[in-house]
Structure 1
Amino acid sequence: MVSIQQAKQHTIEHNVDFIKKAKDLKPTLIRDIIYPSHIVEVIRNDDAVHGWEVKKKEKASSLSSQTYGKGDQFILDFGTHQVGYIKMKVTPIGSPPDAPLHLKLTFGEMPIEMAEPFSTYSGWISSSWLQEETMHIDALPNNIELSRRYSFRYVKVEVLDTSTKYKVTFDDMQCHTVTSANPSDVPSFPHKDELIHTIDKVSMKTLQDCMQEVFEDGPKRDRRLWLGDLRLQALANYKTFQNNDLVKRCLYLFAGVTNTNGQVAANLFISPKLIPDDTYLFDYSLLFVTTLHDYYFYVKDENTLKDLWRTAYQQIEIALTRLNEQHVVQDSETWWSFIDWNDDLNKQAASQAILIYAIKHAIKLAEVLEDEKVTCLKQKLKEITEATKRHLWDKDKKFFISGENRQVSWASQIWMVLAEVLGPKENNELLHRLLSEKPEIGITTPYMYHYLVEALLLVNEKEKAVEQIKTYWGEMVKDGADTFWELYNPKNKSFSPYGSPLINSYCHAWSCTPTYFIREYNM
């Protein structure tokens, strides 16, 4: 089990003006009704992801002609990933119902969730994220409407009990989907490469299903606004749905509930009221700066920039307090920086690079505002960049090293390239060396793969960037992804940092950025 950050003293400063602006930007959700396409079964296939595959049995339209009693079950396939609310009609067949109908519904984004009992889950995050609902229905016939929103493609319906005198039929099963993304707003982008075209579509579907009243990290889990995810979702949004007010709303939400030091939380709870989590991450706080930077340069909303500049600058100030006398981020077991889901990853060097990356974005914003802080920022940038080359660059290994064990990782090199600590030629050589030598401490998430692709594009390696997208996200497509996943390790496709792939999110915000790359760089 990983350690959990829990603040002992968690005092929040509420900026009423910012919170009101965010509230005024709350979107109206777009609704649709989707019907299942097939009744299916899940069968064992060791060559499939997680060892399970779906096989069609018959059209879903045949459901109403079938009866189900105690111990019976069926699985419906809605054709693609859905986020919304289930409705259905249940009718008794036989004698008048002399006992309640006891029903269990299980929702799954992947076949494994239909095949393996949730009772087998023993991971370290709460099993309450596993999507199932048990109910007693006293009055029949009845129109059932579930009040909880679910994220799924498959629904398993189990009749736990009726009585010996009656059975039931199911009819008019439907999902009332919700999203704040309007597909009609997406500019057409036909592509002659079929795989790239499919990756683009799946990326947009991923983003669409995560766009709710905020940019959620995942509609299954955590159903929350996370800063690291927001930065990537916003980039994809600018090139697709262009719901820029949703980005603006999320920025104001983060700035509206900082701690007493002015630091933004790593994630926010939105309902029943706005609450910042007591998790604060070094890298995520700095990504507030880059997200504001991206928003301004795409939207040119100077009023919002003026409002939020102080919050952005505070993230730099707070991060600078983490530097030691050598101007290097202090590495210890008492601090938190995400970078990637890898327990073996030392995060010092990558965090140092993200600080440089954020300062460079802050300088551009300060120049727009003609803020005198630009002088201080440039001086700090010079000091930290020189210290990085002096203390974290290994001339013999020709890699950046991290931590007391001088670890060489993919994440450290990628972020140092993005921070442009070295010159263009040296950056290009560093990435070529990385791809050739393949250090053991690799990448585990689409989140970090995004930054690998971004780094390749920065050094003008567009073909290699396309290759990474087709190899990584394309492999997910080949493995059946209709939305892109939170975690994907091609060498271990059942990888889960939580203890089981059952609880992984298979529609996850930080995996949606191929559509940004494809459209921004005309891939």
Structure 2
Amino acid sequence: MLTPYLKQAVAVLLLLLSAATAHAQTAPKATWIWYPGDYEIWLGNQMQNRRTERGTFFPVFWRMDSHYVLIDFHKDFDLAQPEEVELRAEGQYNVKLDGKPLTGAPTRLTVPAGKHRINLKVYNQATPPAVFVWGKTIASDGSWLVTYEDKEWIDASGKTSDQSGTTWLQAGAWNFDSPEARPSAYKLPTEERRAARVERTAQGMVVDFGRETFGYIKLHGLQGKGQVAVYFGESKEEALATETCETLEYLPVDQPQKGDRTTSLSKAFRYVNIRPEAGVRLDSVSLLYEFAPVAERGKFRCSDAQLNKIWDVAAYTMHLNTREFFIDGIKRDRWIWSGDAYQSYLMNYYLYFDTPTVNRTQFALRGKDSVTSHINTIMDYSFYWFISVYDAYQYTGDKTQVQQLYPRMQSLMQYVLGRRNPDGLLEGQAGDWVFIDWADGLSKKGEVSFEQILFCRSLESMALCANLVGDQPDAATYQKLAADVRAKIFATYWNASKGALVHSQVNGQPTSNVTRYANMFAIFFNYLSPEQQQQVKQSVLLNPQVPKITTPYMRFYELEALCALGEQPYVLKEMKSYWGGMLDLGATSFWEEYDPAKKGAEHYAMYGRPFGKSLCHAWGASPIYLLGKYYLGVKPLTAGYATYEVAPTLGGLQWMEGTVPTPQGDIAVSCSARQIKVRGASGSGTLRFRSKTKPRCKGASILAKGNGQYEMPLAPSREYQVTYQAL
């Protein structure tokens, strides 16, 4: 039994705990903040300059920008009572309270009750200026305002200007949520993993880690004096080819006693060939696996075991290429390419829904003004960037990224518009790389129809983003430009006798050449009439006479176009053949390019080098997007899944089930030939399906649309079970 004293003590303790809990629930979450895009550009520079080929530094092909070195941070507060605030900064800094500078570089500040403004101005040449501020109610976060150009001035009397013309943006932030977690010190985490197999050789050992991986090699029990050569290989053939493997590292050793050593740079590999010199010995080898800590929310399973494996390997491929940013491939470039990243964004929306990585990648790609070239120097890659910004808003419903990037969108579009020819179309100029795809003999001359299609979509995206930020005059301008370009595309390139858009116009004359690229984009951009769609399907997409696509990069879009036309049974066979073909050859991640006609080690060659091809390339993971959007059938209809569609299509499968992530939770779908189950976390959904018989669902209203098509509204947080008969 408690004494009165103990009862009182317990009561006080409970009161204190209650107060602490209430404070924890109401206290703002502080995080390190910086000028938006600056940390992303700096971090991108750090990552992309790690590339080496056979030990030689290999920098990017394009201009690299840097962060602004002097940044002003501020926020206004209205305090009910005085508050003590802690301050930290990365760089040399001063602090002002209500415009009055404080002595020195204080790490603690008392803010009186009432309305006040806190300013920190930070200089840092080496890393992006950043601040961390926290108190009971005051915290640094994305609501703080920042500028790199403070236009305040003081007249001869000492009076500060009443207006400055300064452009303030919301601060950038990520997940550095403690004063010790300095942004400049960020590194991806690692975990140690053992080898799957070790083969001792006369020269040393060949180690197999069981599948494609990424990280550092750790040598255990290293002793002696000399050198250890480490040859990395995505295939065993590459690891053994000491003269032609793409990546290697030489480790000098001077260790009288046994110890451990780790390679200096993370690399991509499955196999490593370890060759110590005669005076050096080692016991074993392990891997420090380096990874981005992202969670897989999207899931997919079905009646086809091979397709399940394709999903799993695609997800693993995506995971390996999700690092600080979405990169192209883990072995060779390890750079941020806009075309590769655009596909990664789409796959991310169906696997992780990791918005911060999308945002970082978009900022890093765009860089700073002034604009002197296309993104990555590639015309089409600038267009993918424009389109990706509006796509991100459509999936997330968050306007912040659009607002932060819109000025940079405007300046890049001005650059693009300034490079039009007299006909208002685009063709490659000096310094432009017109990429499209890796394809032998693909002409890039003249005004290529594919580039005009992407240009048109970019102008439409600009108009939508202009409306989002309240820039109605420019929205109208961009929309008119888009309409003009679209009219010119069909006046110039549509060939009625071929039932297709031709590939290009050279010297004012349309060519007769038909390729797949512009035609398949015109389908899922919804630029074609229903009649034209059917013509393109037969004359291009299903026509073996039109040159085939061999890269997963463009197979992504080709199969999306076919799915948009309702050809899921055909696409299922193509996925099993194409991605299944790589699995049959032992792939543990999906490749940069796959041509079934090649044999043996021919599959590893590219760019004139025997092992130049990437065997783990982000664009190889596209089944994630296709299965989530066109088989499970989930897509947002309005921003952030406020309204959405679920249109499951078995496409030859007996059953399938999975989840698609959204900003407010997951949408779960399962479907067989006789039953559909759907549950959405939030938003208003519409289930669309086809049935031979009249469908039933308890407590739901099903609307017949004719020709066996039905619609059913979906309320949030409720599971629906529909009985039907699939057509």
Query: What TM-score does the superposition give when structure 2 sets the normalisation length?
Result: 0.58
Q: What's the offset of the Cα at 1:403?
A: 3.8
Corresponding residue number in structure 2 for 1:260: 370
Corresponding residue number in structure 1 for 2:275: 158
Deviations 1:418-474 (A, max 9, x none): 443321331232023213333454323211111112222222322233333222222
Corresponding residue number in structure 2 for 1:84: 215
* CA distance in structure 1 between the partners assigned to 2:267 and 2:61 by the alignment: 28
Change (3 A) 1:28 1:192: farther
Pairing 1:220–2:331 present? yes
Within a 5 Å distance, the mapping from 1:388-407 to structure 2 comes to 388-401=489-502, 402-404=504-506, 405-407=511-513
Corresponding residue number in structure 2 for 1:53: none
8 Å CA contact retained: 2:231, 2:240: no
Corresponding residue number in structure 1 for 2:77: none
Change (3 A) 1:237 1:221: same
SS of the counterpart of 1:442? coil
Within a 5 Å distance, the mapping from 1:134-213 to structure 2 comes to 134-139=250-255, 140-162=257-279, 168-171=281-284, 173-183=285-295, 185-213=296-324
Pairing 1:356–2:456 present? yes
Code of the residue aligned with 2:315 in structure 1: it is: M
8 Å CA contact retained: 1:87, 1:145: yes
Corresponding residue number in structure 2 for 1:451: 557
Change (3 A) 1:200 1:6: closer
Code of the residue aligned with 2:291 in structure 1: it is: T
* CA distance in structure 2 between the partners assigned to 1:331 and 1:243 by the alignment: 35
Tell me which of 20, 25, 32 is aligned to 2:191.
Answer: 32
Gaps of at least 5 residues in structure 2 are: 1-58, 74-127, 131-170, 176-182, 633-649, 651-727
Change (3 A) 1:28 1:156: closer
Change (3 A) 1:331 1:234: closer
Code of the residue aligned with 2:230 in structure 1: it is: L
Deviations 1:483-507 (A, max 9, x none): 1111222233636541024122111
Corresponding residue number in structure 2 for 1:336: 433
Q: What's the offset of the Cα at 1:141?
A: 2.0
Tell me which of 599, 611, 624 is aligned to 1:502.
Answer: 611
8 Å CA contact retained: 2:310, 2:623: yes
Change (3 A) 1:505 1:291: same
Corresponding residue number in structure 2 for 1:110: 235
Code of the residue aligned with 2:629 in structure 1: it is: E
Greater alpha carbon shift after TM alignment, 300-309 vs 493-502: 493-502
Greater alpha carbon shift after TM alignment, 109-118 vs 288-297: 109-118
Corresponding residue number in structure 2 for 1:44: none
Greater alpha carbon shift after TM alignment, 491-500 vs 221-230: 491-500
SS of the counterpart of 2:409? helix
Tell me which of 503, 511, 516 is aligned to 2:625.
Answer: 516
Corresponding residue number in structure 1 for 2:383: 286
SS of the counterpart of 2:303? coil
Q: Return the index of the structure with the highest Cα Rg.
A: 2
Code of the residue aligned with 2:598 in structure 1: it is: N
* CA distance in structure 2 between the partners assigned to 1:22 and 1:160 by the alignment: 49
Greater alpha carbon shift after TM alignment, 459-468 vs 16-25: 16-25
SS of the counterpart of 1:133? strand
Deviations 1:178-205 (A, max 9, x none): 121434x434433222121111111111
Within a 5 Å distance, the mapping from 1:17-28 to structure 2 comes to 24=174
Q: What's the offset of the Cα at 1:251?
A: 1.7
8 Å CA contact retained: 1:258, 1:264: no
Q: What's the offset of the Cα at 1:149?
A: 0.4
Higher share in strand: 2
8 Å CA contact retained: 2:174, 2:356: no
Greater alpha carbon shift after TM alignment, 20-29 vs 283-292: 20-29
SS of the counterpart of 1:326? coil
* CA distance in structure 1 between the partners assigned to 2:287 and 2:393 by the alignment: 37
Within a 5 Å distance, the mapping from 1:235-250 to structure 2 comes to 235-250=346-361
8 Å CA contact retained: 1:262, 1:314: no
Change (3 A) 1:175 1:22: farther
Code of the residue aligned with 1:366 in structure 2: it is: A
* CA distance in structure 1 between the partners assigned to 2:197 and 2:606 by the alignment: 33
* CA distance in structure 1 between the partners assigned to 2:439 and 2:60 by the alignment: 16
Pairing 1:366–2:475 present? no
* CA distance in structure 2 between the partners assigned to 1:91 and 1:14 by the alignment: 41
Tell me which of 180, 203, 215 is aligned to 1:72.
Answer: 203
Q: What's the offset of the Cα at 1:298?
A: 1.4
SS of the counterpart of 2:333? coil
Q: What's the offset of the Cα at 1:416?
A: 3.2
Gaps of at least 5 residues in structure 1 are: 41-65, 122-129, 267-279
* CA distance in structure 1 between the partners assigned to 2:288 and 2:60 by the alignment: 36
Code of the residue aligned with 1:74 in structure 2: it is: M
Q: What's the offset of the Cα at 1:338?
A: 1.6
* CA distance in structure 2 between the partners assigned to 1:343 and 1:242 by the alignment: 36
Corresponding residue number in structure 1 for 2:576: 470
Deviations 1:324-368 (A, max 9, x none): 333332356763222101252124111111112222333333344
Change (3 A) 1:512 1:188: closer
Pairing 1:133–2:264 present? no
Change (3 A) 1:30 1:237: farther
Deviations 1:186-231 (A, max 9, x none): 3443322212111111111111111111222122121111111111
Change (3 A) 1:234 1:368: same
**What is the RMSD of the two structures over their aligned residues, measured on CA atoms?**
3.0
Change (3 A) 1:299 1:396: same
* CA distance in structure 2 between the partners assigned to 1:118 and 1:503 by the alignment: 13
Code of the residue aligned with 1:151 in structure 2: it is: A
Code of the residue aligned with 2:464 in structure 1: it is: K
Deviations 1:53-104 (A, max 9, x none): xxxxxxxxxxxxx7x7xx4232211112211111121356xxxx6xx24322
Q: What's the offset of the Cα at 1:389?
A: 1.2
* CA distance in structure 2 between the partners assigned to 1:233 and 1:156 by the alignment: 32
Q: What's the offset of the Cα at 1:169?
A: 4.7
Q: What's the offset of the Cα at 1:14?
A: 5.8
Deviations 1:224-246 (A, max 9, x none): 11111111111111221222111
* CA distance in structure 1 between the partners assigned to 2:574 and 2:465 by the alignment: 31
